[in-house]
Amino acid sequence: MRGGLIHLERVAKEKRAPNGLISATRGNHGQSLAYAGRRFNIPVTIVVPNGNSTEKNAAMKALGARLIEHGSDFDAARVEAMRLAEAEGLYFAPSFHRDLVLGVATWALELFEAAPGLEILYVPIGMGSGICGAILARDLLGLKTEIVGVQSDGAPSYKLSFDAGRAIETNSALTNADGLATRVPDAQAVEIINKGASRIITVADEEIAEAVRIYWTDTHNLVEGAGAASLAGLMQEREMMKGRTVGLDLSGGNIDLKLFKSWVLN
């Protein structure tokens, strides 16, 4: 929500979207834009892939967005959103942008201030605004916290990009953690991550499901797949993390009931 508010405030002041705004999402970014669009009186259109989360779709509609379903995954939806932006004269809001990073970075600032002395921080990666915000906040505060990115092993574009030192696209993004399901990394995000992260690890959906169960049974927090990925990463590296002070980014609770039941009750 914070990134969307900052970005749309700028868009409104600069009158960039006289006919409205369009973007693509798997859900959280779209809810942020829809909420901010209502705040700043900017009509918002959101393109989601076919088969997207029914509950995230309902939330975006409830917040006032026009919802369009297109394509098999996020990146196909993004291409369609860019086409519609040109065809309908709409402002295209990307999923990675300086304003979004500035807004999202506030969570990292709050964490670093509330928990000084963190040695390591695990952050899930979708399009990269969360981990980029954490890196920039850490650097501006002059901290030495090690930041580790976590991706799905079925959607490892940023992991591949980190290892190669340049942006690498994948042919598919196969994961039930929809917030991690991206094939095409953002080049600006890759540059920030490759300079500021210690490493990127990948986790399987089974590991993410276990993390969702742990959050629910041990802390009574409802977490979506992408939000649980950081804990899944820590669980994978638990032996090497013994004795260290570790932080986790729980970045969202927007999980469909059907998926939650299949992950937690089975």
Residue 200 amino acid letter: I
State whether 107 and 178 are in the same domain: yes
Cβ 149 vs Cβ 162: under 8 Å: yes
The domain that holds 47 is classified in CATH as 3.40.50.1100
Average confidence (pLDDT) over 75-82: 95
Residue 132 and residue 187 in one domain: yes
Which tens digits make up the pLDDT trace of 115-130?
989 999 999 999 999 9
Per-residue confidence at 9, pLDDT binned at 50, 70, 90? Answer: very high
Out of 92, 123, 153, pick the residue that ends a domain: 92
Q: Which of 43, 63, 92 is the last residue of a domain?
A: 92
pLDDT digit string (tens) for 114-171?
998 999 999 999 999 999 999 999 999 999 999 999 999 999 999 999 999 999 999 9
Quote the number of domains for the chain.
2
Q: Does 219 lie in the same domain as 142?
A: yes
CA distance 122 to 209: 17
φ, ψ of residue 67 to 5 degrees: the values are -110, 130
CB-based contact 182:124 (threshold 8 Å): no
Task: Write out pLDDT tens, residues 240-249.
Answer: 999 999 999 9
Q: Burial, 165: exposed, middle or buried (Cβ in 10 Å; 0-12, 13-18, 19+)?
A: exposed
Same domain (yes/no): 88, 103? no
Q: Is 12 exposed, middle or buried (0-12, 13-18, 19+ CB in 10 A)?
A: middle
Last residue of a domain, one of 57, 75, 92: 92
Residue 134 and residue 36 share a domain:
no
Q: Tell me the average pLDDT across 64-85.
A: 96
In whole angstroms, what is the distance from residue 71 CA to residue 20 CA? 22
177-203 per-position pLDDT tens digit: 999 999 999 999 999 999 999 999 999
Q: What is the pTM of this model?
A: 0.92
Query: What residues make up the domain containing 213?
Result: 98-264
The mean pLDDT of 83-99, rounded to a whole number, is: 96
Q: CA-to-CA distance for 197 and 146, rounded, in angstroms?
A: 7
pLDDT at residue 64 tops 70: yes
Reply yes or no on whether the pLDDT at 254 is more than 90: no
Q: Are residues 209 and 106 in the same domain?
A: yes
**pLDDT in the model for residue 70:** 97
Strand order in the sheet with 91-92: 66-69, 44-48, 21-24, 91-92
Tell me, yes or no, whether 8 and 75 share the same domain: yes
Q: Is the pLDDT of residue 266 over 80?
A: no
What's the pLDDT score for residue 263? 84
Give pLDDT, residue 11: 97
The answer on 246 and 119 residing in a single domain is: yes
